[in-house]
Amino acid sequence: MKKIIHIDMDCYYAAVEMRDFPELRDKPIAVGGSRERRGVIATCNYLARQYGVRSAMATGYALKLCPDLQLVPGRMAVYKAVSAQIHEIFHRYTELIEPLSLDEAYLDVTDCPLFQGSATRIAEAIRRDIARETQLTASAGVAPIKYLAKVASDVNKPNGLFVITPQSMPTFIETLLLSRIPGVGKVTAERLAQFGWHNCGELQQVSKTRLVELMGKFGAVLYDRVRGIDERAINPSRIRKSVGVETTFANDLYGAESALAQLPALLSELTHRFAKHKAERQISKLVVKVKFADFQQTTIETRSHDIDQALASSLLSQALARGEGKAVRLLGVSVGLAPLALASMDSPEQLSLL
């Protein structure tokens, strides 16, 4: 049985700002956006969350919820430097580390000899080291499988630890809300609820065939998750699957012509970013994303092996048509990446419309 730890720093960017600027500690703060320009909140502290402010929220809306919200410009170089410190701490306990972001990672400590092999005590030690050396707090989850370790790290957040043992796992899973399973978003949870399924115990009564019929491939994943099956190993070298760029406009764009005029600059930046991966990866698909002024969004993609402006323009035109004349708030373009030997060499064809 594996021993997996999921470490998740508490409101990471905001916590770094409060550490470095103590005058912010007793104020609701958010990193990202500005009052003058349209922006999006990257993260916020727990005081701001009491007002309903959340990550990925439009800055303007966040300010309506919390007029006293202190907006702090991000300092990515600092966040990366602190993240490097945190990862150095991880390496004291295991080399099997799968980073998910600057502030979040899985660790496999199955073979760690420290603390008589106790994953709980290892997690406690990691949290102590982080607090002592960075003056930041981290929450941790311990479990025999990856997804439950991630779920567990959120149970006693912030600055907490929760352990799911092999013995307690069946009981914990039975009452676990389906919305807590990574990958089950709001729309999926609502769809499952329409069938009367709210927790894992209820979904355990549903056949795999039925779930696949209703949810496609993800139905098979759900079938396993609600039974405590997650055979994914910790992957120390996660392979990037996509590269993208997007921009939120200070003023909404009206009309397809205005939106299409933004494509060349976006594609130029995308080409620049892809160049860093060109030696090992190749393009497998082209994706266009549009968020309208009412915050509804759509994406459209097609197989492609190039960053082709004509193809991107065609995709964007199709995406804009779904908005039926709505103003555009955000545009994004991205490419899917595949190993050089595996990307299909077929001619472009449309894959999926979301």
Contacts of residues 267-273 at CB distance under 8 Å and 24 or more positions apart, as own/partner, are 267/307, 267/309, 267/312, 267/333, 269/245, 270/243, 270/244, 270/245, 270/307, 270/333, 270/334, 270/335, 271/307, 273/243, 273/244, 273/245
Count of alpha carbons within 13 angstroms of residue 282, beta-carbon side: 11
User: Which residue numbers are catalytic?
Assistant: 104
Annotated binding site for Mg(2+): 8, 103
Contact 62, 76 (CB under 8 A): no
Alpha carbon 104 to chain centroid, angstroms: 10
Nearest to 301 by CA among 253, 223, 241: 241
* Residue pair 203/178 in contact by the 8 Å Cβ criterion: yes
Which tokens in the block code for residue 313?
């323009």
Give CA–CA dist 106/236, Å, rounded: 9
